[in-house]
Amino acid sequence: MSGIKRNLSVEDNTVRTDITNEQPASSYDSPDSKKLRRTSVDSENEEQTQIIEHEIGISNGHSISQSETERCEIDNTLEENSSNCSIVSADFDNGKDDIYRYEGTIIFHTHIPPRGRYAQVSSEPSIIRTFAWTLLASIEQIYDNSQHTHTESFSLFLKCEPDKKYHGWSIFAKAELTLLHPTDPNKNVIRKINHLFNVRSNDWGFRQFKPLKEIYSEYIHSLDNTIRIQANIHADPPRNVEWDSKGQTGFAGLRNIGATCYMNSFLQTIYFTKKLRKPDEFCQHDIQEFCRVLLDKLESKMEGTTMEGVIPSLFQGQYVQYVRCTKVYHESQVQQTFYDVPLQIRNNANIIESFRDFCKTEILTGENLYDAGSIHGLQEAEKGVKFQHFPPVLCLHLLRFEYDYNLSQNRKINDSYSFDYHLDLSEFLEKPNCSLCSYKLLSILVHSGDNSSGHYVSFINPELDGQWFKFDDDVVARVAPSDAMERNFGGIRDDDGRMYNTSAYMLVYIREDCQKDVLCDINLEDIPETLIKRFDYEKKTLLKRRENMSDNDDLVYIRIILNTDFYTQPTACLTDIVYYNSIDFPNNKSSWYIKARNSDLFSVFIQRLAYEMAVNLTEDIRIWIVNTHKIHINHQNHHYHSQSLLTSTLMYCDDYDKKIIDLFQHKISNQQILSIFVEQKIFLNGVYQLLPFDKNNDILIFVRLYDSQDESLLYIGHFLFSKQQSLQKCLIDIALRIKKPISSSTKFNVHQSVLKHNQVHQYKAIKSSNFDLPLSQALHSCVSGVSIIIQIIDMNQTHNEKCTLTLDDYFQSLFSRQEFHVCNRDNLRNECLFKLYLSLETSIKEVIRLIAERINYPEQQIIIQKFSNSASIANTTPSTSLLHIGSEQKLKDLYSSIRFTVTTPRKIYFKRLPFNYTELEHRCLFRIFVTNSIKKDEQREIQFYAKKSSTVADFLNEIKQWIPTLCSENGSQQLRITELTLNHDINLPFRLRICPDQLSIDKFDNCLNHHYHLEEILSDENDHNKDSVLIPVAHYTKENFIQINLQKFFPFFLNVIHNESFDDVKQRLQLKLGLTNREFEKYRFSIFNGSKLILRCDDNMGRINLRELILIQNSCWLGLELPLISNTRKTRKSLCSEKPIRIN
C-alpha cells in the first residue's frame, strides 16, 4: 500500500514542531467547556478525488502476472491453479508491523509545546487500519469567566489520515488518552474519545486536557524533562477507501446492490458452513437465484441431486409439544421440526434464560381446562416444550423487534442480552443423554439502527478458533473478539450517555461433535469440472481486464453530452456544462460518463456508445468532439493577474479509425475527463431526422429563447447554419422552427456567450447593424459550439403592453435576480402556485401586477402580506404589513428582518380580496379556522376582513358570497362561528360556545386563548328540542387528558338525543368527521365531566341518559380518544441508512 511503511516505530521520542495552517479549536470557548472538539479547519477543504473501480472476482490461485496472450488449455492447468479454493492464507499478528491491525498504541514523549496559535507538536504516526494516527499537543489560552483572566491549558488531540486522498472516507474509532504521572499511576489523567473521523473532521480531542500549571507541578518527568502520553486506539474498518479485503483476510465481501446488507450478512454465514459448498448438478442452476433464497428454498432446489437432504441434516432440529394432565394419567404429544429457534429478548438476560422462557410450563386450569377426551373430560394440565435433538448448525433468532400496539408500529428492543462463545443446551433436551448439545459460536448477525432505518453486518469465526472477521457488504476486516461479541450485546451507552444502537439479531452455533463435518475442507474433486472451467474462464477474463486497466495514465472518462443537458441547465453554455460538471466529478450523478482508454480506437468506443443508446451509428446520431482551449488574458487596467480562461468548441468527427488520444486536442483539469456532444434526430417537417449538414461550411449553434412574459430562458435546441448565411436569415429560420410569426414589425435581440475574467460565460449583445452580415463576421466567434440567446419582439404589440423587459434589461438585472415562490395565503397547504424571478429592487406595484396577470384577478383586489411568525389569533387592524397596488415599497421591504443571502427561494404571500383594497381601513382582520372539505381531519386558519360595524350574521352572509363552497350541496346552507376558550382550570379545561348572530364583530376578544371556527350547521342540529342538547366534542389521550390540536381537530358541537344508543352517536360522529370505517375503528368514545372521565362508551348497546348530562351541561363533553399516529422518525445522520428486515 503506497505511502505506508510496514515497519514504523512508535517508540521514538523525537519531538517534531509543526507550524502549519492547521488551527486548534477556537479560543473563545468557555473555560468549563470540556467537550470533544475538532482542531483542524483545513480538513474542511475540498479534497482531490480518485476513481476506484471495485471488482470482486473468484480467487482460485491465479497469479496476476500470468500472461493472457497464451491460450492454454484449461484442463491442463486446473490442479496447479486451484490447489486451494476456499481460503487465502493471511498473517494476523496484529503487531505494529501489521498495517491492517484494529488496535495500536502511541507512546508520546514531548517537551512542553511552544506557545503560539499555530504551534503544535506531533507524535510519530502509528499505522492502524492503514490510516496514520498521530497525537497533536499545543498550549491554549482559555478565558476564565470567574477570574476574568486568561489561563493556559494543555491541549491534546488525536488525528488520523488515510494513506491516499479518498473522497468521503470515514472511520470510527475509540481511543483512551492517558497523561502519565511520573511516580503514581493512580494520578494518571485519562480521557476517552468516541468519534467518527472523516474528511471534514479528521481530528478530535480536548482543548482543556489539563491546566498547564498542573502539568508543570506534577507531570514533568525529571529524567528527560518531558511529559509522557499514551494513546490506546481501537478502530473499526474504514469506509469509502481502497480496502483489500481478499489480500488482508483471505475472504471476499459481497457488494450491496441496494438494501441487500441483510442478505449479504446471512449469505456469508451460510457460505462458511462449508459442507453446503460441496456442489454438484444443483450448482448449475442460476447463481443469482441461489443468492436470493434462504434455507427453505435451498432445500427444494437440491431435490433430485446428490445434495438432497443436506439442508435438513445441517439445520433441522426437532422438539415435542406436550400437554400432560396433572390428576389423571393422560398425555398428548406433537412432534415438530425447526430450522431456527426464536428467542425472546424482553425480560431475559441471556440465551439460557430465553430457552427457559421458551420451554417453561403453562398451567391449564379454571376456564382454560384441557379436554382430555371422552374418558377423562376436562382436566387440569401442564403444557410445555422439550427438545428432542438439536441440529449441527443451530440458528438462534433474537426477537429484537416487537409490535407496539400503542404506536401501531414495530419498535426495536435494544436491551442488554449476552451470549457465550460456548453453549450447552443439555438441560432442555427431553432425554439429556440422547444427543450431544455442546456448541461453539460461528457467526453473529448484527443490526445497527432502529425500526425506521438500519444496516446489517455479520461477524464470523470461520475456523472456530477465536479469529473473528467483520463482513460489512464488500468490506471484510479482522476484528477483536470483544468487537464481535460484547460490543453487540445491546443496552450499551456511549461515554456521552447515548444508547449504542447496535445489537445482535441472529446467532449461528456449530455443534462441537459435527465441527469437522460442517467445516470440512473443499477439495478439487468435490467441484464439478464444468464449474471449475466456468470459474477459471471468469477469473482469466477478470485478470485480463485488470491488466488492461492497470495503467491509470491510459484511463479516461468520456462525458456524453446530449441536448437534455442544455434543457436541465437553461442558462449554461457548452463550456459551463463541460467545466462545472467536471468539478463535481465523480459525484455528479446526473452526468453520463463512459470509461475508456486513450489507446483504444474511437470506433470501438463509438460502437459501444451506439449500443448503450440503442441507436444506429450511421443514421441516428452525429458525433462532435469537444475541445477545451486555454486562453491567456492580461488585465492591464485591473488588479487581476494574468490568468488562463477555458472555452470549449465542437469539432465534427467522422473519422472513427483514429485512437481516442489523437482525436482530442485538450484535456481539462488533471482528471483526464474528455467530452463529446452526441447530436440526435429531431422532429422536423413531420419526421424525426438529423439536420442537413455540410461539414465544410456549416457550424453548430446552441440557441435559447428569452420569454419576456415569464422573464426566463428556454433552451429550444441546436441548429446547423452555413458560415456564409446572414445572421438575419438564421434568426428567421429559428423563428419558423419554433413557429413564431414573422412580419415586417418583428425585431430581434441577440446575445452571444463570451468569456469574462471570473471564468463565467456572460452574454454580449450583437448589434442589429451586424444582422445582415454573414455569420463568420456577425458572431464574435464563429465556431461550432457557440451559444446565443434571442428575443423575438413584435413592435406592434409592444406598445400595448406594460413594461415589457428586453433581453438587455434581463441581463442588466440578472445578478440581483432571485427565485421567489408565490403562494396564496388562503391555500390550505401553502403550496407554491408559480415562480417569479425578480430583483429585490422590484416595486410592490410590479409584483402585484405580475401576480394579477398570472391569476387573472383585478390588481386593486390583491394584497401582499409580510412574512410574520406572530401567534396572534384574534382580530387586528390592518397595518403596514399589508401591501397593495398603492404601496410605494419595494420587494426587499418584505424581508427586512431576514439576512440578505439565502440558499432557498423566498416566498411571496398574496391574498385575494372580494373588495377593493381601499376598503381595508373600514375593516378589521378576523382569523378563523376552517375545516378542509376534502380532508376533514385537517384545519386551516384563514384570514377574513370583516366590516367593523357588522354583526356575526352580516359577516357570515359575506363569507357565503366569498366562499360558496363552504356550504355543502345537501346541507342546511347555514353557517355559524364557534368560539373556543382554553382555560388553565383543571376542572374545566376548555369552553365552547356558539357566537350569537346579533353579536358585533368588534366585540370579539383580542387574546391568545380565544380561537374561532367556521362550520356549517347540520340539519339535525336545527331540530333539537327538550329531548336533545348540543354537547362539545374534543380529543383526549389514553391518559384521559384533553388534547387540543387546532391544526388537526377543532372541537365542535354534536346534537345528543335522549335514550339514543352509543352506536348511533358513533355513526353520527363518524359522519361528522368524514372518516372511513377502518379509520374510525381506532377511536374510543367516552363522556367527561371537566377533566374527569365518568363513562366509557365501548358497549354499543348503551344509551344516552340526557337528564344526567343536563345536570353537568356546563362542564360535560364527549371525548374521542386520539389514536397515536407516529410520524416518520428523524434519526441523526449515521451509517444506518437501510430499513431493517427480519429474517425468520
Structural fold of domain 1022-1144: Ubiquitin-like (UB roll) (3.10.20)
Q: What is the pLDDT of residue 407?
A: 65
Q: What is the pLDDT of residue 75?
A: 38
Q: Using an 8 Å Cβ cutoff, are 885 and 862 in contact?
A: yes
The enclosing H or E element of 1029 equals strand 1028-1036
The residue among 233, 230, 207 whose CA lies nearest residue 23 is 207
Tell me how far apart the alpha carbons of residues 211 and 153 are, in angstroms, rounded to a whole number: 4
Task: Name the CATH superfamily for 311-518.
Answer: Cysteine proteinases (3.90.70.10)
pLDDT band of residue 876 (cuts 50, 70, 90) is: very low
Q: What are the pLDDT digits (tens) for 832-843?
A: 888 887 877 788
pLDDT band of residue 1009 (cuts 50, 70, 90) is: confident
Cell triple for 881: 404589513
Over the chain, what is the mean pLDDT?
75
Q: What is the pLDDT of residue 433?
A: 66
Q: What are the pLDDT digits (tens) for 426-451?
A: 889 887 765 678 999 999 988 888 77
Q: What are the pLDDT digits (tens) for 313-336?
A: 888 899 999 999 998 988 888 888
Q: What is the pLDDT of residue 244?
A: 76
> For the domain 16-235, what is the CATH code?
2.60.210.10
- Report the predicted TM-score, pTM, of the whole model to 2 decimal places: 0.44
Q: What are the pLDDT digits (tens) for 893-947?
A: 787 654 445 567 888 888 888 888 888 888 887 788 887 555 555 667 777 888 8
Tell me how far apart the alpha carbons of residues 597 and 553 are, in angstroms, rounded to a whole number: 9
Q: Kindly give, in sequence order, each residue whose CB lies less than 8 Å from that of residue 69, ignoring residues fewer than 6 positions away.
A: none
Q: What is the pLDDT of residue 1016?
A: 80
Dihedral sign, Cα of residue 267, residue 270, residue 275, residue 276: negative
Length of the chain: 1144
Tell me how far apart the alpha carbons of residues 905 and 908 are, in angstroms, rounded to a whole number: 10
Q: What is the pLDDT of residue 87?
A: 33
- Looking at 806-916, which runs of residues are DSSP E strands? 817-824, 832-839, 862-865, 882-883, 906-912
Strands 1052-1057 and 1028-1036: antiparallel
Tell me how far apart the alpha carbons of residues 1046 and 1011 are, in angstroms, rounded to a whole number: 9
Q: Kindly give, in sequence order, each residue whose CB lies less than 8 Å from that of residue 748, ignoring residues fewer than 6 positions away.
A: 728, 731, 768, 771, 790, 791, 792, 793
Give the range among 416-425, 568-577, 727-736, 869-878 with minimum mean pLDDT.
Answer: 869-878
For the chain, domain boundaries: 16-235, 311-518, 552-801, 1022-1144
Q: Does residue 50 surpass a pLDDT of 70? A: no
Cell triple for 984: 388553565
Structural fold of domain 552-801: Ubiquitin-like (UB roll) (3.10.20)
Mean pLDDT of 18-41: 35
Q: What is the pLDDT of residue 120?
A: 80
Q: Using an 8 Å Cβ cutoff, are 776 and 784 in contact?
A: no
Q: Cis bond leading into 586, ω under 30°?
A: yes
CA 1133 → CA 454, 457, 942, 1130, distances in Å? Answer: 11, 18, 37, 9
Highest mean pLDDT among 505-509, 524-528, 1014-1018: 505-509
Q: What are the pLDDT digits (tens) for 960-990?
A: 877 777 777 666 778 888 888 887 666 677 8
Q: What is the pLDDT of residue 68?
A: 36
Q: What are the pLDDT digits (tens) for 136-162?
A: 998 887 777 666 777 888 999 999 988
Q: What are the residue ranges of helices labelled H in 282-435?
A: 287-292, 295-301, 310-315, 351-359, 373-376
Q: What are the pLDDT digits (tens) for 382-432?
A: 999 999 989 999 999 888 887 766 666 778 888 889 999 999 998 898 877
Q: Is there a common fold for 552-801 and 1022-1144?
A: yes
Q: Does residue 287 surpass a pLDDT of 70? A: no
pLDDT band of residue 353 (cuts 50, 70, 90) is: very high
Tell me how far apart the alpha carbons of residues 1030 and 1015 are, in angstroms, rounded to a whole number: 15
1033 forms bridges with which residues in the sheet? 1052, 1118
Q: Kindly give, in sequence order, each residue whose CB lies less than 8 Å from that of residue 322, ignoring residues fewer than 6 positions away.
A: 331, 332, 333, 334, 383, 384, 385, 386
Which residue's entry shows cell 402556485? 833
pLDDT band of residue 1128 (cuts 50, 70, 90) is: very low
Q: Using an 8 Å Cβ cutoff, are 582 and 669 in contact?
A: yes
Q: Does residue 584 surpass a pLDDT of 50? A: yes
64 vs 1016, higher pLDDT: 1016
Q: What is the pLDDT of residue 496?
A: 55
